[in-house]
């Protein structure tokens, strides 16, 4: 499975490059095309609408053509779109390419993330954290490279470098044999009690939850519970899923708004030059990458719930500071702390919510990431409008409001997770008694 993990990490590195490429050169795009920040937000919105389409189509494509072909298709779109960006087309074409790029990101991220969670069951939290570390490295290196290219006057080469890495990853998915992981690359998805029980054990949940996971997958005869018609989720499970989906929508929207507009915010808030402001984005992703190195250990001691609640609380506190402080050194310090606070939210949030649905990992992952894509499409548009219409601190208070909403949502997710575990444990005990 080592080849799969290495290739997954390289894929997330490329996706990290792609996710921040537009934001790293947003100032240059706005000036080159003579548009405002709200129009720049439309480019980001299109990219995430494409992302949403890729995520939503991922389960269907896996069933129709298999995981390998789906991932190959994702990186074809990735490489084509980034190459198109580098060719400096009309703005309308840029908006179309953004949809294709986003589709590649969403399809690739969903297929690879679900594949790793399913195969590397006993190490899924650490494996997902490692993927996110490489995503962060990509998002760290690209802005630093873009800052240098901006200084040299070749900022469009930013997109060319992303296209080159995407093409390398595409070739590896086409040609590299994956050993034992090949059994998971076709159209069939592994199901059944063994998978569910191992997922429960790998997540470190209690014996009651593990028994419930076995029940859900069919290892033992499942007690009848009320289902929401046409979804396959119980009523309690649907409530948890909706809350988790809302959390991911706000989180991804916040992160994409912050990262895509951070250079512009730093330039206007602290008077930094364009290249120096772009470096602040590298510092943010450096902090995220560093924090993700320790996420597995920290969650092993704190648990998923406590980790996520503390991260949300810290994010709210840091965004308050960013709204109130203008000095460049202080703002840069707070940006680093923001990166540390948000380091593990995505990966651990994905694992935490999936913990309740061990027999629906592909479907649940797709729903959560698609809702994240929806938030990533809408909130940057709002942020661009705020930057055009008001002072920069208004956008910072928007970020604070999002972090508070995340804290409230995670509290509700935790409550529903506990209720669902108790309900399932009671049903199993009643059945066995």
Phi, psi of 186 (to 5 degrees): -85, -160
Q: Given this model, what pLDDT does residue 222 score?
A: 37
Encode the chain (433 residues) as per-residue pLDDT tens digits.
778 888 999 999 999 899 888 888 888 888 888 888 878 888 888 987 888 888 888 888 888 888 888 999 999 999 999 999 999 899 999 999 999 999 998 899 888 887 887 777 667 667 877 887 788 788 888 888 888 888 888 888 999 999 999 999 999 998 887 777 677 676 554 443 333 323 332 333 332 322 222 322 333 333 444 455 445 677 778 888 999 999 999 999 998 888 888 888 888 877 777 777 778 888 888 888 888 788 888 988 989 999 999 999 999 999 999 888 888 888 889 999 999 999 889 888 988 898 888 778 778 887 887 788 788 878 888 888 888 888 788 888 999 999 999 999 999 999 988 888 787 777 666 676 5
How far apart are the C-alpha atoms of 96 and 100, rounded to whole Å? 7
Q: Given this model, what pLDDT does residue 404 score?
A: 95
Two tokens, residue 13: 């590195």
Q: Given this model, what pLDDT does residue 383 score?
A: 87
How far apart are the C-alpha atoms of 48 and 376, rounded to whole Å? 6
Q: Given this model, what pLDDT does residue 212 score?
A: 27
How far apart are the C-alpha atoms of 375 and 399, rounded to whole Å? 13
- Yes or no: is domain 2-180+228-432 CATH 3.40.47.10? no
Q: Are 38 and 90 in contact (CB under 8 A)?
A: no
Q: Are 57 and 367 in contact (CB under 8 A)?
A: no
How far apart are the C-alpha atoms of 195 and 97, rounded to whole Å? 39
How far from 137 is each of 8, 15, 127, 301, CA to CA, in Å? Answer: 14, 10, 15, 25
Q: Given this model, what pLDDT does residue 208 score?
A: 30
388-419 exposure pattern, b = at least 16 Cβ within 10 A, e = fewer: eeeebbebbbbbbebbbbbbebbebbbebbee
* pTM of this structure: 0.70
């Amino acid at each position: 499975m080592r080849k799969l993990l290495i290739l997954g990490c390289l894929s997330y590195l490329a996706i990290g490059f792609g996710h921040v490429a537009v934001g790293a050169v947003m100032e240059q795009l706005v000036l080159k095309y003579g548009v405002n920040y709200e129009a720049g937000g439309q480019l980001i919105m299109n990219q995430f609408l494409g992302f949403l389409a890729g995520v939503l189509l991922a389960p269907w494509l896996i069933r129709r053509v298999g995981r390998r072909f789906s991932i190959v298709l994702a990186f074809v779109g990735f490489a084509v779109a980034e190459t198109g960006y580098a060719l400096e087309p009309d703005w309308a074409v840029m908006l179309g390419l953004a949809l294709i790029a986003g589709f590649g990101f969403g399809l690739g991220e969903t297929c690879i993330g679900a594949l790793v969670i399913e195969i590397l069951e006993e190490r899924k939290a650490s494996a997902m954290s490692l993927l996110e570390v490489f995503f962060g490295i990509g998002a760290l290196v690209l802005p630093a490279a873009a800052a240098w290219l901006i200084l040299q006057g070749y900022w469009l080469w930013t997109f060319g470098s992303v296209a080159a890495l995407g093409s390398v990853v595409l070739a590896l998915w086409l040609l590299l044999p994956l050993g034992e992981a090949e059994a998971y690359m076709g159209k069939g998805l592994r199901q059944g009690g063994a998978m569910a029980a191992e997922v429960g054990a790998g997540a470190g949940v209690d014996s009651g939850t593990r028994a419930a996971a076995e029940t859900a997958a069919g290892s033992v005869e499942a007690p009848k519970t009320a289902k929401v018609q046409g979804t396959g989720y119980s009523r309690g499970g649907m409530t948890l899923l909706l809350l988790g989906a809302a959390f991911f929508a706000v989180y991804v929207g916040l992160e994409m708004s912050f990262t895509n507009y951070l250079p512009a915010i730093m330039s206007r808030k602290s008077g930094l030059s364009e290249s120096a402001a772009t470096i602040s984005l590298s510092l943010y992703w450096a902090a995220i990458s560093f924090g993700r190195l320790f996420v597995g250990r920290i969650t092993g001691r704190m648990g998923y719930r406590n980790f996520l609640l503390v991260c949300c609380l810290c994010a709210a506190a840091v965004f308050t500071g960013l709204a109130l402080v203008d000095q460049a050194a202080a703002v840069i310090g707070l940006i680093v702390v923001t990166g540390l606070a948000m380091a593990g939210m995505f990966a651990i949030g994905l694992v935490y919510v999936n913990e309740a649905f061990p027999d629906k990992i592909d479907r649940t992952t797709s729903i959560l990431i698609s809702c994240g894509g929806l938030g990533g499409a809408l909130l940057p548009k709002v942020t661009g409008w705020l930057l055009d219409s008001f002072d920069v601190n208004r956008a910072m208070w928007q970020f604070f409001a999002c972090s508070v909403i995340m804290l409230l949502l995670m509290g509700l997710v935790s409550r529903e997770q506990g209720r669902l575990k108790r309900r399932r444990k009671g049903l199993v005990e009643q059945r066995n008694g």
